A and B are shown apart, each in its own frame.
Chain A
Amino acid sequence: MGERVIINALFACAVLSIAVTVGIVAVLLFDTVEFFRESSLVDFLTGMVWAPGQGGGEGGQYGVWPLINGTLMIGLGSIVVGLPLGVLTAIYLSEYANPRVRGVLKPTLEILAGIPTVIVGYFALQFITPSLLRPIFGDDRVFVFNAAAGSIAVGLMILPIIASISEDAMRSVPASLREAAFGLGSTKRQVSLRVVVPAALSGIAASVILAFSRAVGETMAVTIAAGNSPKMTLDFFTSIQTLTASIAQTVSGEAAAGTVRYNALFALGLTLFVITLTMNLISARIVRRFRQVYS
């Protein structure tokens, strides 16, 4: 009897998480449909200008591409920063570090993952831009709010994700593989880079895609550090705006519920949801397809 109650309670918890997900998607869809009733879907999907309320009032242009452009810049930029650092950290932790160093490094990485994103954002604004980017590339070249600082900040946030998942993947490479390579006369570096990393590739790839989803969904750091200037550009030293930052800006503004501007939030939210969902599906597929089973 008692067992039954517990099982039912656990089942209810599982159902709740599904219900919440379905509920969120339903809300997104409902208000998105409302948005497209007043605003053209074609313009949204092909427009190169995001200008809600342009000129004041209810008008404006709702083309999503500048925001997707900004989001992808931050996503790719942060991977460029986070991937090498993360994978190299993972190689060190898994192959080289002695247990004592590992005992210090791993928890430190987890602390990095636990720093509130708003603080990382201010770190980017107050340190990365003025003390790192500007001295190297010039004050006039680097905007106060710029995509590069946002990318580095988000790169730091995803570094622990990449490092920790990749390290798990590398450590689960069986010792027999390493021993065989050593037996053939390989050096430690050769073993690490030519045996362990390729064997752990599916895990590393999954970590990158997971990290990318995280980067795409990151809000606070990019709102603070990357500017709020939706434009089509590939210049990392200029201000951009991501999907998430645009949502945050509108929410903190005075857009009244039910207006086109307000409903546009949900269209952006759905876009974001589609991007991250796609990434997660790809990640699951990669893990399944490239997983090497050693037994």
Chain B
Amino acid sequence: MTERMRRRGWLLGLTLALALVAAACGGADDAGGSSSGGSGLSGKIVVDGSSTVAPISEAITEEFRKEQPNVDVTVGTSGTGGGFTKFCNGETDISDASRAIKDEEKQACEAKGIKYQEFRVGLDGLAVVTSAKNQFVDTLTFKQLAEIFKDGGATTWNQVDPKFPNEKIAIFAPDTESGTYDFFNEKVLGDPADGGMKPRSDYTASSDDNTLVQGIEGQANSWGYFGFAYYQNNKQGLKDIKVAEKGTTGISPNTETITSGEYPLSRPLFIYVKEDSLKKPEVGQYVKFYLEQTPQLIADIGYVAAPPDDYAQGLSKLQPFLATS
């Protein structure tokens, strides 16, 4: 048995070696082809950071690859914090972030002599909704949202607010693997490690937003949330619930309140790019492509585009780096 396995291993090794040789030859051919082509860029770009921003970076990378097949872009998802740790250590070129860089992270970058540029690429917002048939819910405070979604929370609407009827709450929300789920918990329930509440588990969970929409539309006593972009595309049959972080004056989600940051369940999405990397033509072109293409791509991914000025400003910030290359 072991003898046979060893022989197999040897065969496998040979096959692998042959494959590598073949790949190496192929690679050399490719390089030759592109240099004769002239305008083709090559090189390696390392992107890491927020898993919320990653889908944008991945979509951009996919499109960019069609234009520049010889630029090797890797997109990691270490999280915003983890991404900055690597970024300020000089390990990555671009850091995806679902919040602005913190002071201590700035200091870490400074200590390593890493200068960077910040680009706002979009906004992530989530809509809290019920069915259009619902007559009684208009605004919910963060406290009431927590009451609905915490572990062991309300099961009937009058437990949320005595003015509401004594009807069951039918909850439809993204499943636990979703970034939207994490965002909601973080914002409304707080960090469990820091005295926050645990989310409940006895709700209808789905990774398919269509299922959530279908469930919420279908019954007047429903409650749920999902990415704002999805609400925008399914307004019929749904009713958005105004959200009040402090006090009781609710704000409804729309492009203005999300872009202004007034709507509490939204956050800006950034990419941070190392200046030394920006001077390389492949990185400069990649970021240019990023800022040009994101406004068109972002709604499909489920986020909101930043105001057009943001992208324009970003491109002008980029200009001096492109000129030097």
Contacts and interface: CB of A to CB of B under 8 A. Distances in A.
Q: How large is the interface on B (under 10, 10 to 19, 20 to 34, 35 or more residues)?
A: 20 to 34
Interface residues of A, number: 30
Contact of A54 (B199, B206, B217): B199
B299 to A, nearest CB: 22
Interface in B98-138: 133
A229 interface: yes
A53 B177 contact: yes
A52 B176 CA distance: 8
Contacts of B199: 54-55
A255 interface: yes
Contact of B177 (A51, A227, A253): A253
Interface stretch (B41-49, B88-96, B167-175, B310-318): B167-175
A230 interface: yes
Interface stretch (A136-144, A150-158, A161-169, A183-191): A136-144
Interface in B212-248: 214-215, 217-222
Contacts of A228: 204-206
B182 A61 contact: no
Contacts of B207: 252-254
B219 A50 contact: no
Contacts of A239: 170, 204
Interface in A40-73: 49-56, 60-61, 66
Given A55-B185, A143-B219, A253 B204 contact: no
B219 A144 contact: yes
Nearest to A226: B204
A238 to B, nearest CB: 7
B201 interface: yes
A144 B176 contact: no
Nearest to B152: A49
B214 A54 contact: no
Interface in B145-197: 151, 167-168, 170-171, 175-177, 181-182, 185, 192
Nearest to B168: A238
Given A55-B185, A56-B185, A145 B177 contact: no
Given A140-B167, A144-B214, A55 B192 contact: yes
Interface in A65-85: 66
A172 B230 CA distance: 59
Nearest to A235: B168
A249 interface: yes
A126 B38 CA distance: 58
A227 B182 CA distance: 22
B215 A230 contact: no
Contacts of B220: 139-140
A227 B171 CA distance: 11
A56 B201 contact: no
B202 interface: yes
Contacts of A55: 176, 185, 192, 198-199
A257 to B, nearest CB: 14
B215 A60 contact: no
A66 B151 CA distance: 15
Contacts of A252: 207
A251 to B, nearest CB: 11
B175 A230 contact: no
Given A140-B220, A144-B215, A252-B207, A230 B202 contact: yes
A255 B177 contact: yes
Contact of A56 (B151, B168, B170, B176): B176
B198 A143 contact: no
Given A229-B203, A239-B170, 10 more contacts: A49-B202, A55-B198, A56-B176, A56-B185, A144-B170, A144-B214, A227-B215, A229-B204, A229-B205, A253-B175
9 contacts: A52-B176, A55-B176, A55-B192, A130-B218, A140-B219, A140-B220, A229-B202, A229-B205, A230-B202
Interface of A: 49-56, 60-61, 66, 130, 139-140, 142-145, 227-231, 238-239, 249, 252-255
